[in-house]
């Protein structure tokens, strides 16, 4: 019996960059439904470029990207909008939107030509607001929110878009430790309870090790991908930073500064 592979995103031998400038090459990953996957790596190694390529904001240079067993570039914009949603580092252009209005925009791929919300749309919006603890803030304007609250709103918008794949670019920057953990816990919950596959880039390697199901380490060479435990055993984290500055402690899964 040949089993149909239940893959949400499959990336093979991918090279990303701008025009002739290659930023990262030899990237492979394959994710099933309900997986939380972190992308880690040093500054400038191409995490954001990879994410932008996966989101179809810029063309890939080589290799293949398949979303639910169909090549990324074969999707029409509206088809892709029902399979893939994004949370970017850029702020929304208008912060005069209320929380509810912003989340409702996530339903655009499903609404009619003038954007009328059906009862199904309203259910999705309500569920997303509940999941990200935004009920009390629903009529607040976005410029009234803290960074952590705004980040939750943007992720709730992606959830309302109801795609099997969600991409997030550094969702935890500018947040304190408590809010970092809160966002990542909510993402984990979203992945496991709602069967969403979530890919995010981050600098919080120790948090990613604790919370992610899979990790992709961008090191500009082999780009290892796998379970956090496997990657620790294979000593991939040790090679991430120069060892005279910081050292990886395999027992605790965290980095220590060399004194």
Partner 1 sequence: MRTPKSYRFSFVLILLALLLAWLLNISSGSVTIPFSATLSSLLGKPVDVASWQYIIWEYRIPKAFTAILVGGGLSLSGLLMQTLFRNPLAGPFVLGISSGASLGAALLLMGTSLLTGLTSIAFLSDISLAIAASVGSFLVLLVVMLVAQRIKDTMALLIIGLMFGSITSALVSVLAYFSSAESLQRFIFWSFGSVGDLTSGQVFLLAGIVLLGTLLSILSIKALNAFLLGENYALSLGVSLKKSRLLIIIATGLLAGGITAFAGPIAFVGLAVPHLTRQIFDTMEHRILIPAVFLYGAILMMLCDTLAQLPNTANVLPINAITSLVGAPVVIWLLVRKRKMMF
User: By CB under 8 A, which span of 109-117, 125-133, 225-233, 241-249 interacts with partner 1?
Assistant: 109-117
Nearer to partner 1, 103 or 217 (CB): 103
The distance of closest approach from Cβ of residue 88 to partner 1 in the complex, given in angstroms and rounded to an integer, is 6
Nearer to partner 1, 109 or 148 (CB): 109
117 binds partner 1 (CB under 8 A): no
146 binds partner 1 (CB under 8 A): no
The distance of closest approach from Cβ of residue 258 to partner 1 in the complex, given in angstroms and rounded to an integer, is 40
49 binds partner 1 (CB under 8 A): no
- Residues 56 and 184: their CA atoms lie apart, in Å, by 24
97 binds partner 1 (CB under 8 A): yes
Give, as one character, the DSSP assignment of residue 26. E
Per-residue interface string for the shown chain with partner 1, residues 175-214, x marking contact by CB under 8 A: ----------------------------------------
Query: Contacting partner 1 (CB under 8 A), which of 15, 98, 189, 194?
Result: 98
- Residues 36 and 16: their CA atoms lie apart, in Å, by 22
Query: Contacting partner 1 (CB under 8 A), which of 48, 126, 140, 210?
Result: 140
Asked if residues 210 and 227 have their Cβ atoms less than 8 Å apart, the reply is: no
Beta-ladder partners of 256: 247
Closest by Cα among 81, 89, 31, 29 to 56: 81
The distance of closest approach from Cβ of residue 113 to partner 1 in the complex, given in angstroms and rounded to an integer, is 7
Closest by Cα among 86, 73, 183 to 134: 183
Size of the site for partner 1 (CB under 8 A): 38
- Residues 31 and 225: their CA atoms lie apart, in Å, by 11
Residue 82 buriedness (CB in 10 A; 0-12 / 13-18 / 19+): middle
Kind plus residue range of the DSSP H or E element containing 67: strand 62-67
Asked if residues 201 and 169 have their Cβ atoms less than 8 Å apart, the reply is: yes
| Binding region for partner 1 (CB under 8 A) | 55-57, 77-82, 84-86, 88, 90-98, 100-102, 105-106, 108-109, 111, 113-115, 136, 139-140, 143, 161
């Amino acid at each position: 019996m040949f089993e149909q592979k239940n893959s949400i995103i499959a990336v093979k031998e991918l090279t990303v960059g701008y025009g002739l400038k290659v930023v990262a090459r030899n990237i492979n990953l394959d994710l099933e439904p309900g997986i939380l996957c972190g992308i880690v790596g040093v500054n400038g190694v191409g995490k954001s470029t990879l994410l932008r390529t996966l989101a179809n904001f810029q063309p890939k240079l080589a290799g293949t990207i398949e979303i639910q067993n169909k090549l990324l570039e074969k999707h029409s914009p509206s088809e892709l909008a029902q399979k893939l949603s994004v949370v970017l580092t850029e702020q929304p252009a208008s912060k005069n939107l209320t929380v509810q209005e912003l989340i409702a925009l996530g339903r655009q791929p499903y609404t009619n030509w003038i954007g009328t919300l059906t009862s199904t749309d309203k259910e999705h919006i309500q569920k997303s607001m509940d999941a990200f603890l935004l009920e009390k803030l629903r009529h607040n304007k976005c410029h009234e929110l803290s960074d952590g609250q705004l980040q939750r709103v943007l992720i709730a918008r992606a959830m309302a878009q109801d795609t099997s794949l969600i991409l997030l670019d550094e969702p935890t920057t500018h947040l304190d430790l408590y809010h970092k953990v809160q966002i990542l816990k909510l993402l984990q919950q979203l992945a496991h309870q709602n069967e969403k596959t979530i890919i995010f880039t981050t600098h919080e390697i120790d948090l990613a090790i604790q919370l992610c199901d899979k990790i992709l380490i961008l090191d500009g060479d082999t780009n290892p991908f796998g379970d956090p435990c496997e990657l620790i055993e294979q000593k991939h984290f040790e090679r991430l930073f120069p060892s005279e500055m910081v050292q990886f402690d395999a027992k605790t899964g965290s980095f220590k500064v060399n004194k």
